[in-house]
Amino acid sequence: MTMKLSVPAFFIVGLISLGACSPEKLPPSDEALESKAEALAEQKIETGKKIYESNCAGCHDSGVSGAPKPGDKAAWRERITPGVAAMVKKSIEGYEGKTGVMPPKGGNDTLTDEEVANAVDFMTVNLK
């Protein structure tokens, strides 16, 4: 005795089976996204530290020309009030104000804007 499967029934079973094997990935969880964001932020700070040590420390560690020292909340208070983005812009373009002078990119025009931003993030991370 032979069994005949009808085409529509075979087709439906096949579709159901394929649907269970969907190659689509599930969207990442909020926890995974937060973890990735934290890792990227830490990487930016670490990169900023290296840029700071090799390019910025000469002035900022000693306060030359009014350069605020990392972690000195009193020295950074007025500078940080407009926001980190404003400080990054001034650090990239240069700035001369009542509290000091910041040459464009700290006097090293080979630095990228991103490197300067990372250095600012490093200097201000404990002020936020």
Per the domain annotation, does 36 fall within a domain? Answer: no
Per the domain annotation, does 31 fall within a domain? Answer: no
- A 10 A CB-CB count for 52 gives 22
Structural domain including 111 reads 41-128
Per the domain annotation, does 52 fall within a domain? Answer: yes
pTM for the full model? Answer: 0.71
What pLDDT sits at residue 119? 95
Consecutive 10-residue averages of pLDDT for the chain (128 residues):
55 55 64 82 93 95 91 87 93 91 95 96 82
Chain length of the chain: 128
Task: List b or e across 53-79, with b for residues whose CB sees 16 or more CB atoms inside 10 angstroms.
Answer: eebbbebbeeeeeebbebeeeebbeeb
Specify the number of domains making up the chain: 1
Spatial CA neighbour of 117 closest among 81, 92, 100? 92
Residue 54 belongs to domain with CATH number: 1.10.760.10
Per the domain annotation, does 4 fall within a domain? Answer: no
